[in-house]
Amino acid sequence: MDSFSISNSPFLIVKHRLVGEGVVQLECPKNRRGVAGPDMIILHYTAGRDALSSAKFLARSDVEASAHLVIGRKGEVIQLVPFNIEAWHAGKSCYEGRNELNHYSIGIELDNLGQLRLEGGQFVAECGRKVPVREVYTEDSGNESTYWHRYTDVQMRVLEEVCDLLTGCYQIRDIVGHSDVTSRKVDPGPALQLCDWMKYY
């Protein structure tokens, strides 16, 4: 496959790389093994300062993690690994009886600070950054409230557009969160609502 596109999409895939306005390609030569399929997408949050710094960190040769894409809060997209090459995003993982999901999946990181703590009336991320109230999502379904960094509308729109394209090109069956494939993780967290368009089987 040299290229793939769908109508009304601002993106296309050329030789397993995303092409379109706002897409930046980074080199991540540590990833070389081919991926089988892929047939699923796993969503993560970065818990980093911003999209570019998170992408550059994941691309470092001394970091034993990577992802195919990082989607920023303004809708920018950074690709590190071609979609036909395995990225190291899922770790020790299992879903519907299948293990080691890096072999079968596309990993998408969303620029987001993740779970927040309330300190002295302010919401603070793990990295120490303070988050304004308008960017805080409150989860009340448990015994006590938890607080999470909200995803942006443009970020969610770009995620949907990218996933629509990937599901057409690679016959994706499942779009899940990292927390769905391992009990070690809580990302992408309750601030990301898995909408109907994400539920492929």
Contacts of 110 (CB under 8 A, 6+ apart): 43, 44, 45, 46, 70, 71, 151, 155, 159, 188, 192
**Integer Rg of the chain from CA:** 16
- Of 46, 191, 190, the residue nearest 127 (C-alpha): 46
Domain positions in the chain are 3-112+152-198, 115-150
pLDDT for 199 equals 47
Q: How far apart are CA 173 and CA 162, in angstroms?
A: 15
pLDDT for 143 equals 85
User: How far separated are the first and last CA of the chain, in Å rounded?
Assistant: 24
pLDDT for 194 equals 57
- Fold classification of 3-112+152-198 is Lysozyme-like (3.40.80)
Q: Does the pTM of the predicted model rise above 0.85?
A: yes
Q: Are the CB atoms for 127 and 48 separated by under 8 Å? A: yes
Backbone angles phi, psi at 92, to 5 degrees: -70, 115
**Helices and strands counted in the chain (H then E):** 2, 16
pLDDT for 141 equals 82
Between the CA atoms of 14, 20, 24 and 30, what dihedral angle is there, to the nearest 10 degrees? -20
pLDDT for 142 equals 76
- Of 128, 125, 116, 113, the residue nearest 50 (C-alpha): 113
In tens digits, the chain (201 residues) has pLDDT values of 689 999 999 999 999 999 999 999 999 999 999 998 899 999 999 999 999 999 999 999 999 999 999 999 999 999 999 999 999 999 999 999 999 999 999 999 999 999 999 999 999 999 999 999 999 999 998 789 999 999 999 999 999 999 999 999 998 999 999 999 999 999 999 999 755 445 443
